[in-house]
Each structure stands twice: as structure tokens, then as C-alpha cells.
A and B are shown apart, each in its own frame.
Chain A
Amino acid sequence: MPTASNAEFIVANLEFDSIKSNLKAYLSSQSYFNDYNFDGSNMNVMLDVLSYNTYYNNMYLNHVASEMFLDSAQVRDSVYSHAKKLNYLPTSYRSSVAYANVQITPGDSPHSIDIPRLTKFTSTVGDNTYTFSTNSAISVYSNNSYLAANVALYEGEIITEYFETSSTSNTFYISNYDVDTTSISVSVRTSNTNTTNTEWTRANTLFDVGSTSNVFFVQAAANGSYELVFGNDTFGRKLTDGNIVEATYRVSSGAEPDGANAFTSAGAISGYSTVAATVVERASGGQEYQSLDDIKFAAPRALTTQERAVTANDYKTLVQNEFGDITDMNVYGGDEASPPQFGKVVMVASSNTYDTLPSFQKQQIIDFIGPKSPLTIEPIMQDPTFLRIEVDCKVTYNMNETSSNQNGVQTIVKSAITTFNTNNLGKFNKTFRQSKLIEKINESDTSILSNSIQTRMIKEINPILNQGFTNTVSFFNPLRPDNPVTVAQGASLPYSEPAIESGLFTFNSTSGASFRDDGDGAIQIVVANTSALTILNANVGEVDYATGNVTFSNVSVNAIATGTTIKIYARSEDADIAGKLNDLIEIKTDDTTVTVKGIRE
């Protein structure tokens, strides 16, 4: 039989049709069997089988190769396996947690009442009812009116699984993939007939783990779940045959119960059925298990942090990995703070649940990061502050180029500003670039010919009325002073463009008063009349134009014209405005003014 030449045989194709074409091309160099081109021939059927087999192997190897690398793996089990090699534990489901004051009203007068661990409460969110439970035992006493304050209630069904130890395995698979791994507690009995439990604790590292330590480890397992791993008598005590492992944990509903704010006791507590739970903090912080993309991002970075918080990025990576609802974070040394706080690390976080994190969550973060920080460093949490930007935009558009009227163009421009804010601002360490916004406005509609923007920064102060108010507002951007105006108190001065202005309030029983600077570093209180400003107090503070710090000294405000806060406006020296330290920079629709002028050209 003549043989075919393989000089032209191509092996790089992956598709069925291409493979079959290659085989046909290969066979075309022989003439012994030449029916390979006809659909019904045996030769053609044989080529189908060969092509299918090759295609099948291609697909198989492609999948195998993809799953071999963290970057390309698609199967959760594969990603978990890669993460395990990097000593990274993917975040499990997390229970929503709410804080409530629990008040028991007994019919008699006991000295104390115990609220056992895992006492259940129910709450309804939408159409669903969720079970919440306490995570530790609490005692309330008669001298405190049987009140337990700030009790943490964790959402989730309580599940207990039993495993019998055999000589072949010291690893036990948790049956529920929606387990909250932070809730796992383990106790061990020596045998089925022994009723004495020993509590074992969870270890995350081998530090301080000896051969007799009663510890267990949690590691990722198949099907998105987790497994319990016990020691080997070198690191952690080894289980012996016949030991019964009792694992209790919560099965969480993820973020669905977030927002729960009314709780009812699911039954009597220590025999007392009159129980009232008053919410202190509504439920929040629930999350589903970590997405594959998140694991791919976090696992290599977690390896570099080695579970230790040293650099700012370590803090961010560790905290954002542990608390899934933290959307953005800034971390800086206390020496940069104003005023400086040496020996501290300041963490500022924003969440998709809260504008400012509730105190319990801030404490959770500190408790989590504290043991990972260097010995002499104290991590502290601060709330984000909002540096708002007032935008006064003047737009000229060509009426011949659009069917929209002035209101229509105005709406388009406002929408462009909102989109710019969403895409570019709202996170820590972002800088507002004025020229970029001008570009976006020009691009928002073909009819727009030009636009100009004037901006002011806004921060708010919240003075207690009729009391001396002393505070420093930091804009963290250099300010642009106007020409100094040095006139005496009670005198009038012309309108100008000072670096600092404010909203209106009542001062010394004079309404319509506002703050402004004199161009020479002093903060004044003025009131406007028809043609000029009258100075009510020539010096109630100072402004540092270089740093953007504005200090108010012992100012007594009688009333605030609008709302409960006074807006402080500041003109930046530069067109670009940077958000630093705690500042989240944002443009609000309320602070945006768009003036539109139509021309024909």
C-alpha cells in the first residue's frame, strides 16, 4: 500500500472540521484509498472517528491544562486547590449580624437569668423569615433589669454533624457548602459510649501548636465546601480510632437577611417567655462565598502578606478579604494624620451597606487586624469624610446640531457629570481632574461647542447651637486667597471671591451671617446687605492656605438657616482637587449647577 506524505501534515488545529480537512489533505498524497472525500465511504466514516477522537483529546487536554493554573481555572474545586497551595483559605458564606438589646421580663425575681449560646430569634425580611442566634452564653441580672445590651445575633440555621474517626482519615468533609466557617465549633468524644466532650479550638497557623494541642484546621474542599483537618501528634493532637467528632456551625443565607431590624424570640429563654429584642444595629455583613475572580485576585496577594500586616497594602488585602462588604479602604500611618497620632495605623473603610461603618464592625476589623500588626503599632479605625465638589458649569451649544431644547441639553450635561462621578470618584485617594470633566461634558453631545467649569470644595460642620464651637476642617488641598481686605469690625467691604465661604446661620441674633476669610489668614463672620458685606466678627479662626486647614475658634452659632449643618466652601488653588487620607471625593447632583446657552452657527 502506498504511503501518504506527512510533509504537509498540520497538527495545530483544534476544531473538528479543521482536523478532518488536515487528514484529507494528508490522504490526498496517496491513491490506494481515494474515496475519503465522499460522505458515504468507509474511509470518510473512519476520518470522522479519527477527527472526533482527536477533537475529544484536544478539548480534554485544553480543560486539563486550563485547570492546572490559577489564572485560567474555571472549576471551583480547581481554584480552591490552587488557593490551598498558596496557603489561602477562600472566604466562606458569612452570616449577617445584628446587634440588639435583649430584655427579659420574668414573672418572679431570680438573681440572674442565663441566655444560652445559640438562643434563637427570628426576623422577617421581605417574604422570608430568617433565624438568628447568639454566639455565646450571656447572663443577665436583676440589678440590671435583666437587660443584655448589644447582643450580637448571627443569622443562620445551626447544624451539628458527627464524624466517627477511623485509622484511614483525620479529615472530615462538611456537608454544607454555605457554612460560615467562622462559626465552626468542634468537640471530641473519645468513643461512642463516652458522653464527655472536649472542646477543640481552631488554629489558622502552626505557631504555638504543639503535639498535644487540641486544635483543628479548616481547609477548602470539594464542591465549594470545607473540611476539618486534625493534627498528626506533631502539630496538633491526633485523633484516635473511635473518636467521635461533633462539629456545630451555622448555615448562612448570605446577604439576603441584611437589613433585618425586628427580632422576635423563637422560644422561652431559661423558661421565661416574655422576651423583647430592641435593635441597636440592623443586620449587615452577610455575604456569599468568595467568587472565583476574587480568589484569583486575593490568593497570590495573601501569600505575599503572610497573614501579617506590615505595609498599607497588607492591611487592605487582609481586611477586604475577611470583610466582603468593605468596598474600598485607605490605610496610612498616624504620623500623616491631622493632628498626628504616632504609633498608630489609621484605617478608613467604606462599605456597600453603610456610609460610615457601625462601631461593632469597626471593632471587628480592629480585633481581626490587631494580632497581625507589628507589636508597637496600634490599628485604629476612622470614619470616611466626604469632600464634595460644587460644580458650576456653563455650556454653549449649537442649536443647529440638536433637536433638544435647553432643558434637554442641561439634562445630558448633568448626566455626564453624574457618570464622571461614578466612574472616577467615590473612592479613596482619587483626584478630581477638572480638564477630564470638561472633556466628558464636551463629548456628551455633538451639539456642545464649549464649556467652562468653576469648582469649590465643600465640607460640613455641625456646631452645637449657642455653645462655643472649636474645630478644624481640613481640605488637604492648597487654597486660593483673594487680595487681603483689612477693614475694621463693623465696617463694610465689597463682594469678592474669598478662599473660604459658608452657608448661612444666625450669629449674635443676626440672621444671614456666614464665614469668609479676609485673604490674610483670618476667618471672619459677615452678613450681606444689598451692596456690600458687613463684618460681624473680624476674627473667629484662621485658615492655612498652603495646607487647606480651616480652624474655627469658640464660635457660638444661634441657628442654622438650612438643615443641621453649615457648609464650608473652599476655593482650591489648583484646578485639580485631590482626595487624601479619610476623604472620599464626590460630586453630588445637589451641588451641580449647569447653565446652558444656545447659539446658531
Chain B
Amino acid sequence: MSKIQTLTDHSIKKVVYSDFFTDFSRNSVTGQLNRKTNAEAVKQSIRNLLLTNRYERPFQPEIGSGLQGLLFENYTPGLELRAKKMVEEVFDNHEPRAELMKVDVGGNPDHNTLSFQITFRIINTTTPETLDIILERTR
């Protein structure tokens, strides 16, 4: 694992974290891949991790959250706790750049969806970042 670089509010314009877009979108002028940087890059990473099942990545069975498997469980109060625990484990194990502050899990059983509001802060910054994710069946 690489060394985490320092990201302060004062140096927010400095690009510390950078990743390309999931859809490989390109800059229409330069033709280069667009970048997500800093907080947006971390959010995209967390989203990827939460939507990845374990054993999905080759030779790295431990990466992922298992959240998608909950979609087929009966909706009970315990389900929310399990979902929350899964999010916490993802932050603990796979996202060293962010510190989880709060996870709100809301369920809408009638529409077979689980919604997450995740509040975190990037290490060495004070600004809370919010990530909303809705899990629903696609078919």
C-alpha cells in the first residue's frame, strides 16, 4: 500500500488523488481521459468498493463489500445493521484515504431498495464529504 499524501484545505487545488472516470469519458478538446481528482476520486473509489462483491476481482477475493447480496434478504432491522457494518469494513480495510464519520441506512422495502448516506472525511482534511448510494434491483 502506498504512502498517503497529505491533503489540506489550503492545498485543495493540488491534485493528490486522481483517477479516470468509470465511463472512460474524454475531454472533448484535448481528447485525453477526463480525471476525477481528490475528494471526487475518493468518492468514486468508495462507490466502486461498495458495489463490488467479494470474489469478483481476480486473485483478490477479499476486496468488496457484499452489499449487493443484501438485496435478496428479507428486510428486517438487522439488515440495516449488517449493511452498516459492511460499509464500515470497507472503510477499515480498503480505503485508507478516508475516515468514516457516519452511515445512515434507509430501506424502502416496497421498492426493493436500500439507500445509504455516507459521511466521511478525507485524511488530513476537516471537510466532511457526503456520498449517497442507492442500491436497487435492476430486474
Contacts and interface: CB of A to CB of B under 8 A. Distances in A.
A48 B60 contact: yes
B22 A37 contact: no
Nearest to A17: B59
A1 B94 contact: no
A39 B17 contact: no
A45 B95 CA distance: 14
A35 B45 contact: yes
A115 B77 CA distance: 85
A31 B44 CA distance: 18
B18 A35 contact: yes
Contacts of B84: none
Given A32-B18, A35-B18, A39-B63, A45 B57 contact: yes
Given A1-B32, A35-B41, A35-B45, A41 B59 contact: no
A507 B62 CA distance: 89
A420 interface: no
A42 interface: yes
Interface string B99-131: 000000000000000000000000000000000
Contact of B58 (A32, A37, A48): A48
B18 A38 contact: no
B95 A42 contact: no
Contacts of A33: 18-20, 33, 35
Interface residues of A, number: 20
A51 B57 CA distance: 11
B17 to A, nearest CB: 5
Contacts of A45: 48, 57
A17 B57 CA distance: 13
B67 interface: no
A502 B17 CA distance: 96
A34 B47 CA distance: 18
B118 to A, nearest CB: 13
Contacts of B22: 42
B21 interface: yes
Contact of B95 (A1, A32, A40, A48): A40
Nearest to B90: A40
Contacts of A55: 58-59
Contacts of A37: 1-2
Contact of A32 (B21, B35, B44): B35
B62 to A, nearest CB: 9
B49 A39 contact: yes
A26 interface: no
A17 B32 CA distance: 29
A34 B17 contact: yes
A412 interface: no
Contact of A48 (B33, B47, B57, B97): B57
Contact of A52 (B35, B45, B58): B58
Contacts of A40: 44-49, 52, 63, 94-95
Nearest to A37: B2
Contacts of B2: 37-38
Which of A32, A34, A48 is the most central at the interface, judged by chain B CB atoms within 10 Å of its CB?
A34
B96 interface: yes
A1 B18 CA distance: 13
Nearest to B52: A40
B44 A41 contact: yes
A493 interface: no
A38 B59 contact: no
Nearest to B95: A40
A159 B19 CA distance: 67
A229 interface: no
Nearest to B1: A37
Nearest to A39: B94
Which of B15, B52, B57 is the most central at the interface, judged by chain A CB atoms within 10 Å of its CB?
B57
A40 to B, nearest CB: 3
Contacts of B20: 33, 42-43
Contacts of B58: 16, 48, 51-52, 55
B42 to A, nearest CB: 8
B18 A34 contact: yes
Contacts of B59: 16-17, 48, 51-52, 55
Contacts of B60: 39, 48
Interface string B17-58: 111111000000000110100000100111111001000011
B45 to A, nearest CB: 3
A43 B42 CA distance: 12
B138 to A, nearest CB: 20
A41 B94 contact: no
Given A45-B48, A48-B57, A39 B41 contact: no
Interface string A158-202: 000000000000000000000000000000000000000000000
A41 B22 CA distance: 9
Contacts of B18: 31-35
Nearest to B32: A1
Given A52-B58, A52-B59, A42 B35 contact: no
Nearest to B44: A42
Contacts of B19: 33, 35, 41-43
A33 B33 CA distance: 10
Nearest to A20: B59
A178 to B, nearest CB: 40
A51 B41 CA distance: 22
Interface in B80-97: 94-97
Interface string A211-255: 000000000000000000000000000000000000000000000
Nearest to A35: B19
Contact of B33 (A1, A39, A51): A1
Contacts of B49: 39-40
A38 B96 CA distance: 8
Which of A32, A37, A40 is the most central at the interface, judged by chain B CB atoms within 10 Å of its CB?
A40
A35 B1 CA distance: 11
Given A40-B46, A45-B48, A35 B17 contact: yes
Contacts of B15: 31
A30 to B, nearest CB: 10
User: Which 10 A/B pairs are nearest by Cβ-Cβ distance?
Assistant: A40-B45, A37-B2, A40-B49, A35-B19, A52-B58, A39-B94, A40-B48, A16-B59, A41-B19, A41-B45
Interface of B: 1-2, 15-22, 32-33, 35, 41, 44-49, 52, 57-60, 63, 94-97
11 contacts: A32-B35, A38-B94, A38-B96, A39-B45, A40-B48, A40-B52, A41-B19, A41-B44, A42-B44, A48-B59, A55-B58
Given A16-B59, A35-B41, 6 more contacts: A1-B33, A38-B95, A39-B60, A41-B44, A42-B44, A55-B58
